[in-house]
Chain A
Amino acid sequence: MKKTYKIEVDCASCATKMEDAAKKTEGVKDASINFVMQKMSVEFEDGVDVNAVMKQVLKNCKKVESDCEIEI
C-alpha cells in the first residue's frame, strides 16, 4: 500500500536524510520525498499497522532532522 503525507522540512539535504531514515524504518518498503512539493510518499510492507509505522517514521526522522514535521 502506498500513502502520501504532507511534510515540513526546511533544507534539501535534510529531506534526503529524512528519506533515508524513513526507508530504514521497519514496515516501510520504500519512501521518497518530494522536497519542492513538501510531500512524502511511503510504500508499506503488506499487513502492517500504517499508523504505528508512520509514528516510528516520524520518530526516526526527528532524530536526523529535529524540526521536521509529518502530518499523519
Chain B
Amino acid sequence: MVWRIVIAAALTIFLAVSAAVDLFEFDDEDVKKYIYFACYLVPYVIIGYDILIKAVKGIAHGQAMDENFLMAVATIGALVLGVTYTGDYDEAVAVMIFYQIGELFQSIAVDSSRQSIAKLMEIRPDAAFIEENGELVEVDPDEVEIGTVIVVRPGDRVPIDGIIVDGTSSLNTAALTGESIPRDVIVGDEVLSGCINLSGVLKIETTKEFGESTVSKILDMVENASSRKSESEAFITRFAKVYTPFVVASALLLSIVPTLLFFLADYQLLDTEWEQWVYRALTFLVISCPCALVISIPLGFFAGLGGASREGILIKGSNYLEMLSDVDTVVFDKTGTLTQGVFEVTDVIANEIPRERLIELAAAAESSSPHPIAASLVRAHGADIDRNRVTEVTDVAGKGVIAKVDGTPVAVGNKRLMEMLGLQFDEGSVTGTTVYVAVDGRYAGCITISDIVKPQSAQAMRDLKAAGIKKTVMLTGDADAVAQKVAKEIGIDEVHSQLLPGDKLEELEKIIKDTSGKVAFVGDGINDAPSLVRSDIGITMGAIGSDAAIEASDVVIMDDDPTKVATAMGMSRKSMLIIHENIVFTLLVKFLFLGLSAVGIVNMWFAIIADVGVMIVAVLNSARALRYRRK
C-alpha cells in the first residue's frame, strides 16, 4: 500500500509539474487535455483500483451507500468534470491518494492500539508442564485434569489455579491485581493462574480446569466486554446510519437543483455555473464517510477498559464504563469492604495482671477452640501456645471456656459467663466483641476484639469526594456503636446499621429511589449478590477466585483496595470525556466542511485532508484513554 501511494503520488506530481511548465508540446489544447486525461488514469488506477472493484461489488449487492462507491463516484465525477470543464485532474487522484493514506493510517493506529491493549492481556499461558519419569513434559493447559500436579518454573506464568504441594517462591500478581509487590507463597497456599513465578520451582496441584481458572475467566470477561454496547456507541451507530444517506441526499440536491434551474429556466443559482454546483456536490461525497466517528468511539471504550484492567479493575462492558461516570452515590458494605473482615484485639483493660499476661492466659484457655476469636487472641499473643500447659478444658455453651493454664484456673467468655461465676466486671468497649477473663476465681480484665478498618478506607472516601461523588453510604449488620465508630474514622456520610441481610436490599432500594444519579454498590461478594445485582453498578472487591461474586457484579476490583473505586470512576470519566470530545470535534469539523464546500469556499483537496485529519486526531485522542494518572 505504501508503494502504491508513493508511485501514484510521484506520477501525479510529475504530470502536474509537466503540465504547468509545458514540458511536452501540443499543437492543440484539446489533444493536450485528452492525452493528460489518459496519463492521469495511470496513477488513478494504481491508487484506487481496489476501491473501484469494491464499489462495483457493493452495487451488485445493493450497497449504494457504501463508502467505496461514494469515493468512486466523487473521483470519477471529478475526472469527468476535468475533461469537460476544469481541465484539472490532480484533484481526483489526490483525493484517492489521501483517502488511501487515511485508510492506511487507520489500520496502523487500530493495530497499534490493539497491540498495546493485547499486551495488557498477554496473560494467557500457552503451556503447562508436568513431570513424567523425572522429566518435564509440556502439555496443553486445556488437557490438564483437576488434581494433576503441574510444575511451574521461575519466570513462568502459573497456567491453572491450584494449591502448592511443593516448593516456596514469590509470585508477581500484577496481572491479576495491578499490585506490583511480590507475594510470598509456601506449601499449602492457593495460587491463582496468571501470576508469574519469580524465584523457586513450584509444584502445584490443580483445583480447576484451565477454562474455569482465574486467568481464563478474566480474559473471557475482558474480551467480551465490548459486546455490551454503551449508549454512546448505540448513538453513533444510529447516527452513522442516517449521516451517510443525509450527505448523499444533500449532494444530489446540490447538483440537481441548480442544473435543472439552468437548463429549464436558464437561471444561474447565486451566479454560479451548474458545473460548479456538481463539483461542490462531489466534494460532499468525499466527506460522507462517518469512519472517524465510528472508529474512534469503540476504540476509546476499548482503551478505557484496557487501561482499567491494567489498574486491576475489570469492567464487564462499555455500558458500565459509561455508567460509572454518572454515579453520584456509592453504597458500601462494611465488613470485608471497608474493614478487613479480620478480627483483631483492639482494646485491653487489665486490672490485676499485666496486659500481656492477660492476653496470654486468654489465648491459652481458648487455644483449643475453633472460634475466630480464639485465633485473634493467639495472634495478639504473638507466639504459639504449648497445648500441654492447658488442662481440664470445659466448654460452657454460649458463654465461654473454663480451663486450667499452668494449673491456674482461667475463665474466658462473655458477660453471661462472668454472671454465672458471680463476678463483678467492667463494661468493655461497645465497639466490638468483648471477652472477659477471670483468673483464679477473680475478675482480671477484658479484651475487645473488633474488625479493623482498612488503611486505605479513609483515603477512598476522600478520593470519592474529590471525584465529585455526592453521597457515600455504609450498610452493615453490625451494632450501631461499631458502625458509627467506623463511619467516623473513615468519614462516610451516612450509616445504616443493624441490618438483616434482607434489610440491606431494602435500604439500597430506598437510596436508589431518592437519588437522581446512578447508585453503585460496593461489596466483597459474600452474601451481597442481591444488592450487587439491584444497584445500577455492582462492584466487588478482592473477590478474584469467587465465581459467584464475579458473576453478580459489573465491575470487579481484583485486589481489596477501596481507593480503586475512585480510580475506576476517574478512568471512566476520562474515557467518557475523550469519547465526547471525539464526537463533538468530528461532527463539528464534518459539518463545518460540508457548509464551506456547499458555498464553494473549500475545494476537494481541503475536504479530503480535513476528513482524514479529523480521523487521525480522533484515533490518537482515543488512545489516551489507555493511560490514567492517579491524582
> Is the contact region of chain A dominated by helix, strand, or loop, or is it mixed?
mixed
Q: Is the CB of B114 within 8 A of A11?
A: no
* Cβ-based interface call for B110 (8 A): yes
Which of B85-93, B224-232, B489-497 contacts the other chain? B224-232
* Cβ-based interface call for A64 (8 A): yes
Q: Is the CB of A13 within 8 A of B291?
A: yes
CB-CB under 8 A from A37, the residues of chain B are 114, 118, 223, 226, 302
Q: Is the CB of B114 within 8 A of A38?
A: yes
Q: Is the CB of B229 within 8 A of A32?
A: yes
Q: CA–CA, A55 to B295, complex, Å?
A: 27
Q: CA–CA, A41 to B229, complex, Å?
A: 13
CB-CB under 8 A from A11, the residues of chain B are 67, 103, 106, 291, 294-295
Q: Is the CB of B227 within 8 A of A16?
A: no
* Cβ-based interface call for B289 (8 A): yes
Which of B55-63, B252-260, B544-552 contacts the other chain? B55-63
Q: CA–CA, A12 to B232, complex, Å?
A: 15
* Cβ-based interface call for B107 (8 A): yes
* Cβ-based interface call for B542 (8 A): no
Return B300 CB to nearest CB of chain A, in Å: 10
* Cβ-based interface call for B460 (8 A): no
Known: A10-B103, A12-B294, A13-B291. A36 touches B61 (CB 8 A): no
Interface string of A44-72 (1 = CB under 8 A from B): 00000000000000000001101100000
* Cβ-based interface call for B290 (8 A): yes
Within 8 A of B (CB), among A3-35: 4, 10-13, 16-17, 32, 34-35
Q: CA–CA, A24 to B240, complex, Å?
A: 19
Within 8 A of A (CB), among B53-79: 54, 57-58, 61, 63, 67
Chain A interface residue count, CB cutoff 8 Å, equals 19
Within 8 A of A (CB), among B82-105: 103
Q: Is the CB of B106 within 8 A of A16?
A: no
Q: Is the CB of A34 within 8 A of B103?
A: no
Q: Is the CB of A36 within 8 A of B294?
A: no
Known: A12-B291, A12-B295, A38-B114. A64 touches B106 (CB 8 A): no
Return A4 CB to nearest CB of chain B, in Å: 8
Q: Is the CB of B61 within 8 A of A35?
A: no
Q: CA–CA, A34 to B118, complex, Å?
A: 13
Interface string of B202-229 (1 = CB under 8 A from A): 0000000000000000000001101101
Q: In this complex, what residue of A is CB-closest to B220?
A: A4
Q: In this complex, what residue of B is CB-closest to A64?
A: B63
Supply 24 A–B pairs (Cβ within 8 Å), ascending by A: A11-B106, A11-B291, A12-B291, A12-B294, A13-B67, A13-B240, A13-B290, A13-B291, A13-B294, A16-B240, A32-B226, A34-B223, A35-B295, A36-B110, A36-B113, A36-B114, A36-B117, A36-B298, A36-B302, A37-B114, A37-B223, A38-B114, A39-B223, A66-B57
B interface with A by C-beta (< 8 Å): 54, 57-58, 61, 63, 67, 103, 106-107, 110, 113-114, 117-118, 223-224, 226-227, 229, 237, 240, 289-291, 294-295, 298-299, 302
Additional A-B contact list (16), CB under 8 Å, known A4-B224, A12-B294, A67-B54: A10-B106, A11-B106, A11-B294, A12-B299, A17-B63, A32-B229, A34-B226, A34-B227, A34-B302, A35-B299, A36-B113, A36-B302, A37-B118, A38-B114, A63-B61, A66-B57
A interface with B by C-beta (< 8 Å): 4, 10-13, 16-17, 32, 34-39, 41, 63-64, 66-67
